[in-house]
Chains A and B, each alone.
Chain A
Amino acid sequence: MQSLLEIERLSVGFRTKRGFLQALHDVSLTIAPGETVCLVGESGSGKTVASKAVMRLVDYENGQIEGGRIALGGIDLTALTQSELRSLRGKRIAMIFQEPMAAFDPVYTIGYQLVETILRHERKTKAEAKAHAASLLARVGIPEPELRMKQYPGELSGGMLQRAMIALALSCGPELLIADEPTTALDVTIQAQILHLLQELKAEFGMSVLLITHDLGIAAQIADRIVVMYAGRIVEQATAAELFAQPHHPYTSGLLRSVATLDTEKGDRLYAIAGSIPSLGKLPEGCVFHPRCPHATDRCRAAPPPPVRRGDREAACWHADALIRDGALIAGAASEDARDFGASGDSARAEVSARVLREGAAGGGSTIVQPGQAVLTAQASTAQTAAAAPAGGTELFRVEDVRKYYPIKRGFPGRSRAFVRAVDGVSFSIREGETLGLVGESGSGKSTLGRLLLQLEPVTSGRVLFEGEDLTRLGASRLRQTRRHMQMIFQDPYGSLDPRWNVGDLVGEPLAVHHGLAGKEKKQRVEELLAAVGLDHGIISRHPHEFSGGQRQRIGIARAIALHPKFVLADEAVSALDVSVQAQVVNLLQDLQQKLGLTYLFIAHGLHVVRHISDRIAVMYLGRIVEIAPSRELFRRPAHPYTRALIDSIPHPDPRLRTEPAAIRGEIPSPARPPAGCRFHTRCPLATDRCRAESPDLLPLDGDRSVACHYPLA
């Protein structure tokens, strides 16, 4: 078959202040007409550079095509001038981006930006262009397109903007659509809708699609072929079915195994690829993957392996044949945990330091030691045994009918005020030693609920009991004392560490504040903590910018456990990390929980990870908990239609199990104007008149689960 796009031995570099950085190395791939190719890799793999190189957009970012060619239907794009390229961009090749919120010019209307593109490439009158734009918006599923045309990007939701972006990309009927992480910034429910839309449109417009993603689940769901990149090189390419059945490269195998699937059990260790992705400035010699590869030999360290064809597929590994023959390259996820490299070291370290931590807590701060150290040890052991079924555990947190309203219209005093009901009547408890997962779309109120738990914000009404004490009634100094037992791990490993502080001060700050530790004593404790999270104590005087995302998150964790808290709130703690690193951090969190008897509230939108780490899961929708159940139960037999929709929206990392079109329609309504009755009724396929009128309470269903639905599924 004649290919539409042919990239041959493409090399791209960037001129930077620190010299020339080679971002792509001899990248070759082809896309046939109508084919969907997924470019998969973690951050720094060069997948975005590759996509921008096709459009020659790298030229604007000090990038330079060093060698190779890019042919689109026979035209060599590397030889064209910018003005020739401009007539192709948006016309024959179109692109959609990761952040729909940032991808539109905020000061022009959606309609203007669509019409502008159409008029650039097509001989149409303004009226014709407008009509065409409106019809495109209607086609991508935007209600009231005429009205939306007149709106500004800030007035549409992320999902709607991504639809509009797709309409923009389609406006001149491109042959190739490049989609760079098009759903990463969106909720899983909206992601499912957008992916489905893309597939429909691909067939309708007869386009080829180059989709860039870090999510193997997405690749499994929509790709014809998958290209795996690592450190600027293609390490493997194959059809989706072949790749998932039998990877030919240790990196692919590692990636596939790192993905927590719905089958992994709580307590199992996730497979993790050791180490982290090298930066472009410091690429290893030989095969770039060898420092992280469990099968590396001297040959790998000496020379880079060339891509080798086997049938229709290709892999760049010296030992591929032998490894395949020996069955060393496994596709399946997690369960056989024992051999994970990198994990054994971690857990040994964690064990030692956990002991030190307990002793440290006893020695360091006599003021805070809880009724006897025996409790801590006992706690740790019960945590282990209770991990499977903590149903009988004592309550650490009890939340009673908590509400948080934010005023949105100030107005004059006495006038009626409007509120965003971020959390609206939530009651639940967290048991000692368990991990409670909290999931829901953005706008459901999960993060607000987390902050209310720690009393980082005052509640509007309701009670938050921690060990029987109502936190909402504590004075500031008493609250500060109590809060020592609750710590937080943040989502953004970059923003949550003060860039001007060194690691020693960052991790040591809580020790100085609460225990009055300083000097040698503080340093020693910090070193113990760093060891506990798997970091070298030599880093104590270094600054956050010198670390990778995963390492920073470990620093954040060390800071969180410094005071030996009972409770840790992890708000999207692994969401910003790459898959291989995510697994390392999840394993670390589980180790620490066992060793230190921690209780977690784990807020996340990545359902696989939540499923893996949680004992019980609470599902939130528009400020309310709609279902709370043991995690295995919840995933096997979701009782609330919303829970089921969330689960069905997850792209399953198995090309044999391609899911049906999106299970849930529409978007989450504004929490300022929640629907009457059951809040989910506007999107629920099973809603009746009763649902529209009467709000269901969260009632026990069976076993340890409760659901707020008039017609529970299970």
Chain B
Amino acid sequence: MLKAVTGRILSSLLVIVGSSALVFVIMYLLPGDPVASMIDISSASPETIANLRHQLGIDRPFLLQLADYFGKLLRGDFGQSVLNSEPVLPKIAKHFPATLALAAASAAVSVIVGVILGVLSAIHRNKPIDLIARIVGLLGISMPAFWTGILLLLIFSIRLGWFPAMGSDGWRTLVLPALTLGLIGAGFIVRMVRNSMLEVIGDAFVVTLRAKGLSERAVMYRHALRNALIPAVTMIGVLAGEMLAGTVVIETVFSRQGIGRIIADAIMAKDLPVVQGVILFSSLVYVVVNLLVDLSYAVIDPRVRRSA
């Protein structure tokens, strides 16, 4: 077990190194001159441009640049914004909590709504609750976040005034964005849990459980649900990525200060070090979440634990 966990952690590290390198290569190959976004090339003297290039270190060979890049990463140096020379890592650190709160709240909405509705709809197949669950699933999957977001804003802040329309301070600002993003996740999870629950209910061991005289509640919640959650957990890992990506849109729609917003702004301003930093940071978060998901398998499914 311990061996498997260390193995899994090692391979996660490898993924992080690989994705860091990939981010660098993409940035390196990107057309356009970073210098151009800092000064007006047409009016600057060639010496100034060459100087600036030398300062940025982009006149050196690729491998040297790569080594330099990794060296800096190891020291926690993600570079500086080309716009205002603000160091990237502290900038991310400052805004990450807001994004984390949003992602966590959305994930909670997805999982709670998704699992409960999914289970109920499988148990009460073809009953009203099943219909509701299927509608939620359909809406979650098919409605784009920006549209749902604007709709919720319109109803709950502008019409009813229950929640603030913008900002990232206090839990009240979190409700609408989390619902918006959470609905997407809930849509996926509802469908997943419903299907896997139905499949498990059809399994042979459920007949055994009933033949033992167990109550339906024990059969469903103690036994079937735990089996049905195994594929759903994978889904949750994938959704973590969706949630991160979703924050870009949501933070823009709800005017929240988070790293999603930062990267959106940085892309608009061609502030490459910031873009690079946020991508790197996000992939780090994604890898960690999926590592946790993988490890949680072992908790739910003893077969994973034993074979490890």
Contact = CB atoms under 8 A, between A and B. Distances in A.
**Is B truly associated with A?**
yes
Contacts of B213: 86-91, 117, 120-121
Given A152-B306, A154-B303, A155-B306, A105 B212 contact: no
A641 B213 CA distance: 44
Interface residues of B, number: 23
B212 A102 contact: no
A105 B230 CA distance: 13
Nearest to B204: A102
Contacts of B301: 106-107
A57 interface: yes
B300 A107 contact: yes
B210 A102 contact: no
A89 B218 CA distance: 15
A60 B201 CA distance: 10
Interface string A140-163: 000000000000101100000000
Contact of B223 (A90, A108, A155): A108
B78 to A, nearest CB: 34
A341 interface: no
Interface stretch (A92-100, A428-436, A617-625, A664-672): A92-100
B291 interface: no
A128 to B, nearest CB: 18
B255 interface: no
Nearest to B215: A86
B205 A102 contact: yes
Contacts of A88: 213
Contacts of B302: 106-109, 152, 154
Contact of B210 (A60, A99, A116): A60
Interface string A112-148: 0000110011000000000000000000000000000
Give the secondary structure class of B's interface.
helix
Contacts of B303: 106-107, 152, 154
Most buried by A among B210, B216, B301: B210
A55 B209 CA distance: 12
A165 B204 CA distance: 13
A590 B209 CA distance: 45
Contacts of A99: 204
Contacts of A60: 207, 210
Contact of B207 (A87, A97, A120): A97
Interface in A52-94: 52, 55, 57, 60, 82-83, 86-91, 94
A530 interface: no
Most buried by A among B204, B210, B213, B223: B213
B306 A97 contact: no
Contacts of B226: 107
B12 interface: no
Contacts of A103: 204-205, 207-208
B44 interface: no
B199 interface: no
B204 A97 contact: yes
Contacts of B230: 107
A104 interface: yes
A55 B211 contact: yes
Contacts of A121: 213
A95 B208 CA distance: 8
A168 interface: yes
A90 B211 CA distance: 6
Contacts of B216: 82
B83 interface: no
Given A105-B223, A105-B227, A107-B301, A89 B208 contact: no
Q: Which 7 A-B pairs have the closest CB atoms?
A: A90-B213, A89-B213, A102-B204, A90-B212, A95-B211, A117-B212, A152-B302
19 contacts: A57-B211, A82-B216, A86-B214, A89-B210, A89-B212, A95-B208, A97-B204, A97-B207, A97-B208, A102-B205, A105-B208, A105-B223, A105-B227, A107-B223, A107-B301, A117-B212, A121-B213, A154-B303, A168-B208
Given A57-B211, A90-B214, 8 more contacts: A89-B211, A89-B212, A90-B212, A99-B204, A102-B203, A107-B301, A107-B302, A152-B303
